[in-house]
A and B are shown apart, each in its own frame.
Chain A
Amino acid sequence: MRVKNFAKVFKSLVDPHVSLKLWIVMTATLTDSLLLPQILATLPEGIMVCAPVDNGYRIIHANQAASSLLSCAPGELEGQMFEACLADHVEDTQLRQSILRAVRTRKNQTIQLENHDDGIVSWLSLSLIPLENFFLCRIDNICNQKINEMRMAEAHKLEALGQLAGGVAHDFNNILSIIDGYARIAAKETGMPPPVTDYLDKIRQSVRRGASLTKQLLAFGRKNTAPESNVDLGALVSDHEGLLGPLLDASIRLHINADEGVNIGAAPDLIGQILMNLILNSRDAMPGGGDIYVDVVALRQIQPKNAQTKGDYACLRVRDTGTGMDKVTQRRIFDPFFTTKEQGKGTGLGLSMVYGLVQQMKGVIDIESAPGKGTTMSLFFPLDIANTSAPPPEIDFPDEDEEPLRLDGYTALVAEDEPDLLRLVASMLSDMGMTVLTAANGNEALARQEGYEGHIDFLVTDVVMPEMSGVRLSELFTSLRPDSKTVYISGYPAAGNMARIELPQGALLLPKPVAYERLAQILGRMTQGSMQTGLSRMAGEWHPGETAKGE
């Protein structure tokens, strides 16, 4: 092959930004084609030159990169038939067609190869570049590109799933609010036979269970990946029980035994991802069913295997009674794309993701496993001693037997598009002694206040409503009535990507299902000025009949 040809092809072969200089040097200095193999040997891309023979194409030159990318010894490729040497990697007909197309159309053809070598998947891109009767094959390692693509796809899938879950949770919360509210209203009726009050209690207990499930669904969809927030690992793991259960079929029993108050610096959602991946891995190791044990304990002054230092650690342990792994598999289990599952069954990303996340949290992983003996994955995270075993923060829900909050003389305008929920919130506020105005949407709320001469102390509004959001309504409403305070009710979180509408900083959010105690607590605090200063009226100071302030 003449130097002129090589130089011409070289230009088209490689990225012009990278190799233009090389090409100039080559065309200027090459007098002897013997230099070419040496130059080709310096390229990171694999290059093979193929010449036509009777029954196909023979490789007449392959550089070092080509040999190593195709897992061949140096010099092994030369002399082989091109199609035959790639027979392990790509279907013969696909390859032949691409070569024919390249030769016939005189246009470059690109094919991608998926290479399975001892459990490890790799990807190569082959560019076939026609050159007179010859053609050149350029081979690129596109593993990084593939990894990124698959990570993106995985992230998008999770995000879409999260959004779907969040949407369902939101609507479901509305329904729960209504069930809970009417159960409360019914429970207030006097003279009911004891079984009925019991039934009502059971309804409310079930609502609480439903509400905690929707909370988890919303948390799953939310990207709360901010690092270094202090989380109670034990409580978090226990909270996930409801989400993990549905991942397993009836043949697998999940046992969670998590000590509460084991605090670590971590992002709650990342712990959720780790847990989910470990559980899925255990599940897949038990095709015939079995048990999964999840424990969380605080361990003092230990040095886990793989850890640099001795210290206090939070240990999250997931143990299964599955097939177990041999030492070889154990060594490679965290490699990206390593999978023992059939093709298409697993991405091989799950445990590599776990490994990455644990490292990110400055943790270490220890595996104990043997074929037929099951697997135990122990994750050790540095313990946040300052917060561990501290009593949980006080949640001062007023006792049901406590004197109920009275807000006589106050007025609230409630905006909610769900009629039943609107009636429910209105009835709760009326029970507290408030004057209540209601509106089914933002425009109606503005019209209601326009026609109301008295003072309106609170705007209680749903966040997500058709026509106008609660946030916009609050803006418009407070421009008309600057003294009014807004309380938002929503089935969505206040911020993050699960928040359909971002709430302003410091906004008061009452999560759905709306609980009477929580609503009373928020309003009670606001009227006492402890939550928001500058509220003009203290309980009991308002005199009915006072006219509204002008705009």
Chain B
Amino acid sequence: MADILDTVKILLVEDDSEVRLMLKVMLGQAGVRHVIETRSGQEALDLIRTVPDGIDLILCDWNMPGMDGPALLHHVRKQEHYIPFIMITGRGDIASISEAKEFGIDGYLRKPFFPTLLEAKLRAVLHKMAMRAA
């Protein structure tokens, strides 16, 4: 049986090219083979609207110029197709985490984090989704 991370298509939304590259490497190390990179919320949203079922999970930075993470999430949740959403945040306060939870995120990662944490989070969220679909 193929591993859950083997076939998953992840949309990575991160404006900082260095962080984006690092996340891509981490995803690769975890065994994720399909990563689509976007540099802003707007770019991501355009892509989601074109191919709504072509993405299995969104990994998105909270703070971005223009359309930020929460704004993108707001638009994504308006879509018919449910896509799990993991928010990456540099803000560690409980208030912002609860805020993110209210927006309907499936998980969050507080920067900085170890690659194992990213993998664990991805597996947890993806497995839950698979169970829900089954």
Interface locus among B44-52, B58-66, B68-76, B109-117: B109-117
* Chain A residues whose C-beta falls within 8 Å of the C-beta of B116 in the assembled complex: 475-476, 479
Q: How far is the CA of A451 from the CA of B124 in the complex (A)?
A: 9
Q: Would you call A451 and B119 a contact (CB within 8 A)?
A: no
- Chain A binding surface, main DSSP class: helix
Cβ of A450 within 8 Å of any chain B Cβ, yes or no, is yes
Q: Would you call A447 and B121 a contact (CB within 8 A)?
A: no
Interface locus among A122-130, A149-157, A438-446, A483-491: A438-446
Q: Would you call B110 and A550 a contact (CB within 8 A)?
A: yes
- A450-486 contacts to B, CB under 8 A, are 450-451, 466-468, 475-477, 479-480
Q: Would you call A447 and B123 a contact (CB within 8 A)?
A: yes
Q: Would you call A467 and B124 a contact (CB within 8 A)?
A: no
Q: How far is the CA of A444 from the CA of B123 in the complex (A)?
A: 8
Q: How far is the CA of A442 from the CA of B127 in the complex (A)?
A: 10
Q: A479-B116, A480-B117 are in contact. Are A550 and B97 (CB under 8 A)?
A: yes
Q: How far is the CA of A550 from the CA of B110 in the complex (A)?
A: 9
Q: Which residue of B lies closest to A451 (CB)?
A: B128
Cβ of A449 within 8 Å of any chain B Cβ, yes or no, is yes
Cβ of B80 within 8 Å of any chain A Cβ, yes or no, is no
Q: Report which residue of B92, B108, B127 has the largest number of chain A beta carbons within 10 angstroms of its beta carbon.
A: B127
* Chain B residues whose C-beta falls within 8 Å of the C-beta of A450 in the assembled complex: 107, 121, 124-125, 128
* Chain B residues whose C-beta falls within 8 Å of the C-beta of A479 in the assembled complex: 114, 116-117, 120
> What band does the interface of chain A fall in when counting residues whose beta carbon is under 8 Å from B?
10 to 19
- Count A/B pairs, Cβ under 8 Å: 56
- Chain B binding surface, main DSSP class: helix
Q: Which residue of B lies closest to A443 (CB)?
A: B127
Q: Would you call A447 and B124 a contact (CB within 8 A)?
A: yes
Q: Would you call B1 and A466 a contact (CB within 8 A)?
A: yes
Q: Would you call A476 and B1 a contact (CB within 8 A)?
A: no
* Chain B residues whose C-beta falls within 8 Å of the C-beta of A480 in the assembled complex: 117, 120-121, 124
Q: Specify which of B107, B109, B113, B123 is in contact with A476 (CB 8 Å cutoff).
A: B123
* Chain B residues whose C-beta falls within 8 Å of the C-beta of A551 in the assembled complex: 108-110, 113, 117, 121
The number of residues on chain B lying at the interface, defined by a beta carbon within 8 Å of a beta carbon of chain A, is 24
- B81-134 contacts to A, CB under 8 A, are 92, 94, 97, 107-110, 113-114, 116-117, 119-121, 123-128, 131
* Chain A residues whose C-beta falls within 8 Å of the C-beta of B108 in the assembled complex: 551
Q: Would you call B128 and A476 a contact (CB within 8 A)?
A: no
Q: Specify which of B3, B92, B107, B109 is in contact with A467 (CB 8 Å cutoff).
A: B3
Q: A551-B109, A551-B110 are in contact. Are A447 and B117 (CB under 8 A)?
A: no
Q: Would you call A447 and B120 a contact (CB within 8 A)?
A: no
Min distance, Cβ A156 to any Cβ of chain B, angstroms: 31
Q: A467-B1, A467-B3 are in contact. Are A446 and B123 (CB under 8 A)?
A: yes
Min distance, Cβ B108 to any Cβ of chain A, angstroms: 8
Cβ of B4 within 8 Å of any chain A Cβ, yes or no, is yes
Q: Contact flags (1/0) for A477-510 with B, using CB distance below 8 Å? A: 1011000000000000000000000000000000
Min distance, Cβ B25 to any Cβ of chain A, angstroms: 17
Q: How far is the CA of A449 from the CA of B125 in the complex (A)?
A: 11
Q: Would you call A442 and B1 a contact (CB within 8 A)?
A: no
* Chain A residues whose C-beta falls within 8 Å of the C-beta of B4 in the assembled complex: 443, 467
* Chain A residues whose C-beta falls within 8 Å of the C-beta of B119 in the assembled complex: 476
Q: Contact flags (1/0) for A419-452 with B, using CB distance below 8 Å? A: 0000000000000000000000011101101110
* Chain B residues whose C-beta falls within 8 Å of the C-beta of A443 in the assembled complex: 4, 123-124, 126-127
Q: Which residue of B lies closest to A477 (CB)?
A: B120
Q: Would you call A447 and B109 a contact (CB within 8 A)?
A: no
Min distance, Cβ B88 to any Cβ of chain A, angstroms: 12
* Chain B residues whose C-beta falls within 8 Å of the C-beta of A449 in the assembled complex: 124
Q: Which residue of B lies closest to A466 (CB)?
A: B1
Q: Which residue of B lies closest to A450 (CB)?
A: B124
* Chain B residues whose C-beta falls within 8 Å of the C-beta of A451 in the assembled complex: 128
Q: Would you call A446 and B124 a contact (CB within 8 A)?
A: yes
Q: How far is the CA of A69 from the CA of B128 in the complex (A)?
A: 74
* Chain B residues whose C-beta falls within 8 Å of the C-beta of A475 in the assembled complex: 116
Q: Specify which of A444, A446, A467, A550 is in contact with B120 (CB 8 Å cutoff).
A: A446
Q: What are 20 A-B contacts with C-beta separation under 8 Å?
A: A443-B127, A446-B127, A447-B124, A447-B125, A447-B128, A450-B121, A450-B125, A450-B128, A467-B1, A468-B3, A475-B116, A476-B117, A476-B119, A476-B120, A479-B120, A480-B120, A551-B110, A551-B113, A551-B117, A551-B121
Supplied contacts A450-B107, A467-B1, A468-B3, 17 more A-B pairs, CB within 8 Å: A442-B123, A443-B123, A446-B120, A447-B124, A447-B125, A447-B131, A450-B121, A451-B128, A466-B1, A467-B3, A468-B123, A476-B119, A477-B120, A479-B120, A480-B117, A550-B92, A551-B117
CB-based closest 4 A-B pairs:
A476-B120, A450-B124, A446-B124, A447-B127
